[in-house]
Amino acid sequence: MNIKYYLSNAKNECTIRACIIADRSHQFKVNTSLKIEPKHWDKKKQQAKKNMLGHEVFNESLAMYRLDLLKVIRTLKLEGNNEWLDIKNGILNHIHNGNYNKHKSAKLVTAIDLFLEHKQNEYRKETIRKYHILTSLIQQFEGKVGTRLITSKLDFTIVEQFRQYVLFDRNNRNDTAYRTIASLKCALRWLIRDGYRIHESVFSVKQPVKSSYEIVTLSEDEVQKIINASVVPVQQKIKDCFLFMIYTGQRFSDMQQLSPDQVKNHLWVFRSTKTDKLMHIPFVGWTAEAEIIAKKYNYRFPQYTSQYFNRALKLICRNAGLDTRVRLTRYQGSKEIIIDKPKHQLISSHTARRTAVSLLLAKGVPPTVVMKLTGHTDIKTMMKYERTTTEALERSLLEISKL
C-alpha cells in the first residue's frame, strides 16, 4: 500500500490530495486540509520546496498525515479487513469521522502556556520570561482589537497586525520586534506538531532586522579610565564586577554565578547560564587580572539585579569621564531612530563582553581563540562585536610593511 500526494486543479492555492494506492486498479483520492501554491510544490520529492516560508512545518504535517493513514491501514488489516473495499471504507470513515482532520484549537495565550509547561525543564528562566512577555503582549493586542486570538483562526493578516502592534503601538525597534515574532513562530511550530491547526501563512510574516549595526565598546584608554576612577565602596564592587567581565569576556549572569568550587589551579570551570555550555576559562595572561579581582571576594561576587547594576555602572562611567558623544542609528520599520548621547549613558553590563571581543581581536588574537574564551559557536555573531580602530589598523599595516 502506497500513498502519494497530488495537487487539485486550482489556479492559485491548491488543495493537496492524498492518493491511497494498492495497485493500478485499486486507488482513490481524498482531500487533505493542506493547501499550497503550485510554484512551491516539489512533485518529485512530494513536499514543499525550501523556498516556501514555513516549509519545515508544512512538510512535517504532510509526513504526519501519511503516517496517520498508514496506521489506519495497518489497524484495519490486523482486524482482518483485507478486502480493498473494506480498507477503502475504513479509511474514509476514519477521515470523515474524525481523527486526522479534527485538529485541536484553543486560545493562543492558553496554547502558549501549554507549550511552556512542556518546555519548563528544557528552557532557562530567561527564556521562560521571554515567553511570558510574549503572552502579555498578545493579551494587550487582544485588548486593542477587541477579540481573543484562537489558534485555528490565526492567519497572515492577524499575525502581521500583531507585528505592527509590537513595532509601532508599543514603540519598539526592529530588533525587538524581530525577537518577539521569532518567539511566536517557535511556539506555533510546536503547537502544530502537537495537533493544533494553524494556517501556514503565519510563517510568511517577516520582521526585517539590520544584521549589522553600531554597538558601544570601550577602548583600552577608556578601560584604564574606569580602573583609575575614584568611587565609593559600594560602586567599587560594581566596578570590579564589570572589569572581571571585561577580562574574561563572560556574561553578567555567569559572573554572578561564580563560586569558589568552580575555580581550581587558576582554571574557572562552569556551565553557562544562558547556553548551558561547559566553559573552561584559564586565569593566565589577559584573564589573570580577573582572578586577582575575584580573590578579593573569595570567588563570590555580590548579587545584583541587572537593572541596579546598569544604573550604578552608568554613574561610575560618568565619573570616569566617559562623556564623548556617541551617535547610533536604529530602525523602527523604515524610520531611522538617531540616538545621540554621552557614552556613559549607553554602557551596560553587556558592554564588557563586547569590549573583551573587540580588544582581543584588535590585539591580533585569532577569532577562533576568542570564540573559545567567549563560548560563541557562530563566528558571524561574535564578529558583530569587532571594532577595529584606525590606530589599530595603522599598527597592523606598519607591522606588515616590516615583513
pLDDT tens figures, 250-301: 999 999 999 999 999 999 999 998 788 899 999 999 999 999 999 999 999 9
For the chain, the average pLDDT equals: 86
| Residue 400 pLDDT > 80 | no
Same-domain pairing of 342 and 263: yes
Q: Residue 237 and residue 293: Cα distance in Å, rounded?
A: 10
Same-domain pairing of 195 and 257: no
In a domain, 213, yes or no: no
In a domain, 209, yes or no: no
Q: Residue 275 and residue 252: Cα distance in Å, rounded?
A: 13
Residue 270 is given by DSSP the state E
- CB 48, CB 58: distance < 8 Å: yes
CATH at 261? 1.10.443.10
- CB 63, CB 48: distance < 8 Å: no
| Residue 101 pLDDT > 50 | no
pLDDT category at 145 given cuts 50, 70, 90 is very high
pLDDT category at 386 given cuts 50, 70, 90 is low
The widest CA-to-CA distance across the chain, in whole angstroms, is: 90
Mean pLDDT of 119-124: 80
Same-domain pairing of 40 and 140: no
pLDDT, tens digit, 9 for 90 and up, residues 315-373: 999 999 999 998 877 777 667 777 789 999 999 999 999 999 989 988 888 888 888 89
Same-domain pairing of 226 and 317: yes
The 3-state DSSP class for residue 81 equals coil
Please name which of 25, 16, 23, 17 lies closest in space to residue 1, comparing C-alpha atoms. Answer: 23
When divided into structural domains, the chain yields a total of 3
- Please classify residue 187 by burial: count the beta carbons closer than 10 Å to its beta carbon, then call 0-12 exposed, 13-18 middle and 19+ buried: buried
Same-domain pairing of 228 and 375: yes
In a domain, 356, yes or no: yes
Q: Residue 324 and residue 169: Cα distance in Å, rounded?
A: 33
Same-domain pairing of 51 and 114: no
In a domain, 302, yes or no: yes
- How high is the pLDDT of residue 60? 87
User: What number of residues does the chain have?
Assistant: 403
Same-domain pairing of 274 and 347: yes
Please report the DSSP string for 220-240 in residue order: HHHHHHHHH----HHHHHHHH
Same-domain pairing of 87 and 114: no
Q: Domain limits at 321?
A: 220-402
The 3-state DSSP class for residue 364 equals coil
The residues, any chain, with a CB within 8 Å of residue 79's CB and separated by 6 or more, are none
Please report the DSSP string for 53-71 in residue order: TTHHHHHHHHHHHHHHHHH
Same-domain pairing of 251 and 397: yes
Domain endpoint, select from 72, 96, 120: 96
Domain endpoint, select from 96, 129, 161: 96
pLDDT category at 378 given cuts 50, 70, 90 is confident
In a domain, 210, yes or no: no
- CB 202, CB 155: distance < 8 Å: yes
The residue type at 30: V
Same-domain pairing of 90 and 118: no
Same-domain pairing of 372 and 258: yes
The percent of the chain in helix, strand and coil, each rounded to the nearest 5, is 55, 15, 30
Q: Residue 87 and residue 99: Cα distance in Å, rounded?
A: 16
**Torsional sign, CA 323, 329, 330, 332:** positive
In a domain, 215, yes or no: no
For residue 265 the three cell numbers come to 589551579
- CB 317, CB 343: distance < 8 Å: yes
| Residue 165 pLDDT > 90 | yes
Same-domain pairing of 296 and 387: yes
- How high is the pLDDT of residue 385? 64
In a domain, 252, yes or no: yes
- How high is the pLDDT of residue 328? 77
CATH at 180? 1.10.150
In a domain, 211, yes or no: no
- How high is the pLDDT of residue 336? 73
Domain endpoint, select from 169, 204, 239: 204
Please name which of 290, 350, 259 lies closest in space to residue 270, comparing C-alpha atoms. Answer: 259
